[in-house]
A and B are shown apart, each in its own frame.
Chain A
Amino acid sequence: MSPAHFEYVLRLGDNALIVGQRLSEWCGHSPFLEEDIAMANVALDHIGRARMLLTHAGALEGRGRDEDALAYAREEREFRNCLLCELPNGDYAFTLVRQYVLDVFHRLQFGALGASTDATLAAIAAKAVKESVYHVRRSAQWVLRFGDGTHESHARAQAALDEVWAYCDELFASDAIDTEMSAAGIAAELGTLERAWRAEVEAHFARAGLVLPRDEWRAAGGRSGLHTEHMGRLLAEMQAVPRAHPGLRW
């Protein structure tokens, strides 16, 4: 196992864990019952993936860290998720616009990872991609309704897209780890994913009457451990109980 392999799987696991944690914050607060259930279901799918991916990462690393050690006993700088995943939920339009771009990304990424030479990763991806298919179905519907809905919903969806768009580049930013993993047939090639992703989301945002912002600024850093100011508070909440009672069983 190469250190890049561990790092690659850790990034996938952290994306799933952090956006799953964000979505779970809506539990009990969504605008109506069916949406509350939908949001909790989608959050659970992400946390389930995170468990499998972090378990796999821990096994690759071979230092005895399990899913809990990786989720609850790392510091902010050790997390490798994209910044987009950790941004606060904002209003419902922001949560769903972010979810839409991530759902399409995950459907394409896990679709490609089904052919990974890492058999465990391929098996996790083959499960996850089927869930992402119906995650997209829901988030794409909301993007249409908000974008093509009332003046208020349109304005909120547009504001959400203006913010989200600047963080999307990081999903496709390729570094030495990605290059090494692509060459080994473990990773999904990011350039191919980006072309497919752009074609799909740009057409859908146009259908929803939303305008893509000009690429003026972009934010990145999460994949190398440099996070936004929001990450610390997210981790404080997520890790509070295991840190207060380390190793507790019930």
Chain B
Amino acid sequence: MHACVAAVCDPELPALTIAELGILRGVREAPDGGIVVALTPTYSGCPATQAITDGVRQALDSAGHRAVRIEIELAPAWTTACLTPSAHAKLRAAGIAPPQAREADGVPCPHCGAPTSALVSWFGSTACKALYRCTACHEPFEYFKCL
């Protein structure tokens, strides 16, 4: 049951599952036999939250669980430290630079690996990403910014 929920992918970062993203807080069986899934949002305005909720319901429905309750857990607030180590590797493979503990020191290019890049915009195609350009290979790339 947990595995089937954990395997649901984030619609905006399809390379990652919600477990790898660190937004799945728990799956448990309620006394009435229903399934309770606790999720936490990444950003306040993340528009993917609804799609993720639907994805979880669908996954459980396919596994034969009909009575599903989704609880949104706000505290403790999600941070990029909730990403699993496998998420970092998958982001890099998808051409997205994973969050850096010391982002002021520069973000390495996920394409050519060069350590130097320039910030283009702190805001990218989704709330969680910033836009950078590599100063070595000149390719633009997205950076999963620290929150």
Contacts and interface: CB of A to CB of B under 8 A. Distances in A.
Given A123-B75, A124-B74, A126-B77, A49 B45 contact: yes
Interface stretch (B1-9, B16-24, B60-68, B122-130): B122-130
Contact of B123 (A38, A119, A128): A38
A44 B48 CA distance: 12
Interface residues of B, number: 22
Interface in A93-150: 119-120, 122-124, 126-128, 130-131, 134, 137-138
B15 interface: no
Contact of A127 (B74, B120, B121): B74
A34 interface: yes
Contacts of A45: 43-45, 127
Contact of B45 (A34, A48, A126, A138): A48
Contacts, number: 68
Majority SS at the chain B contact face: loop
Given A38-B121, A119-B75, A137-B122, A127 B41 contact: yes
Interface in A27-65: 34-35, 37-38, 41-49, 51-52
Contacts of A34: 120-121, 123, 131
A44 B126 CA distance: 10
Nearest to A33: B121
7 contacts: A34-B131, A44-B45, A45-B127, A47-B45, A48-B46, A49-B44, A127-B74
Given A45-B43, A47-B45, 15 more contacts: A34-B120, A38-B121, A44-B43, A44-B45, A44-B47, A45-B127, A46-B45, A48-B43, A49-B44, A124-B74, A126-B74, A126-B76, A126-B77, A127-B44, A127-B74
Please list the 6 inter-chain residue pairs (A to B) with the smallest Cβ-Cβ separation, ordered nearest first.
Answer: A48-B45, A48-B44, A44-B45, A123-B74, A123-B75, A38-B123
